Amino acid sequence: MMDKYTKLQMTGIYAAVTVFLIFILLPFFEMFMASLRPLEHLFRSPYQFWSDDFSFQAYRDMWDTVPLLGRYIINSVFIASAVTGLTMIFVVPAAYAYARLNFPFKNGSLAIFLGVNMFTGAVLLIPLYRVLRSMGLLNTYWAMIVPGVAFLIPQGIWLLRSYLEKIPRELEEAAFVDGASRLYTLRRVVLPLATPGLIVVGTAVFIGAYAQQFLFAITFNQQRELQPLPAGLFEFIGYQDVTWNQMMAAALTGILPVMVIFLFLQKYLVAGLTAGAVKE
């Protein structure tokens, strides 16, 4: 009886995972299929799943339609990398302080950080615009980097703090007995042990920074050469038509950096996400 119940339970789990994966991956699959179709065949009725006129022509033509497409992709990677680097600089000491130190209003301040982070960027666009204008950062890379860092710091602190709390305090106390300072202990003892957690948090921050560029780019930047890919995709929209197949091809090409990073760091992500799950 138990075996039948276990098999039924596992079947239900696999079915739920399959439905979830289909729901997540189906839009990307449809984007890929649309990128292979000629523009005049995209809106055929009835819908044709397969056609003999599939080709990769859109992947060649998109570079001519939007000459700065390569620059837009590089800008996206650069902005996301800069946001990730600056965010981790602030997140590491802050997460360590929340994990190890006791100070007034500790839990309350962290709750405020998370509460503020729940506001979408659209709600704060006007005050952000005024702040960036007063600092002279409009129409620069910083106009897209600074807001990205501000919105991702709370998430990074929350994630890394949970990981640092799993590191035994005895290791730090042993370093303190040997005369090490707290900063030295953080740099030489804690951070090497927290490497999987740092990779997980850094990857999550990078993906978040890559995904949130559109709103900041169209609001705080008017320089075409500085635009990231999400804003640059608008150039596929013409006065009379939209080159949907090339837009889909460019969008898929633009997410390749994130996919490559995820594939290379996959084993470290799994190690970081499962660290501390089993007690010895």
Residue 40: inside a domain: no
Residue 88: inside a domain: yes
Which range marks the domain in which residue 132 is found?
Answer: 65-274
Residue 16: inside a domain: no
Residue 150: inside a domain: yes
Taking the CA atoms of 21, 257, 161 and 179 in sequence, report the sign of the dihedral they define. Answer: positive
Residue 14: inside a domain: no
- Residues 6 or more apart in contact with residue 235 via CB below 8 angstroms: 65, 66, 68
Task: Please count the structural domains in the chain.
Answer: 1
CATH code, domain with 76: 1.10.3720.10
Q: What tens digit of pLDDT does each residue of 153-176 get?
A: 988 888 888 888 888 888 888 888
Residue 60: inside a domain: no
The pTM assigned to this predicted structure is 0.84
- DSSP one-letter code for 68: T
Residue type, 59: Y
Q: What tens digit of pLDDT does each residue of 41-99 get?
A: 777 777 777 777 788 999 999 999 899 999 999 999 999 999 999 999 999 999 998 88
Which has more pLDDT, 265 or 70?
A: 70
Phi and psi torsions of 96, nearest 5°: -65, -40
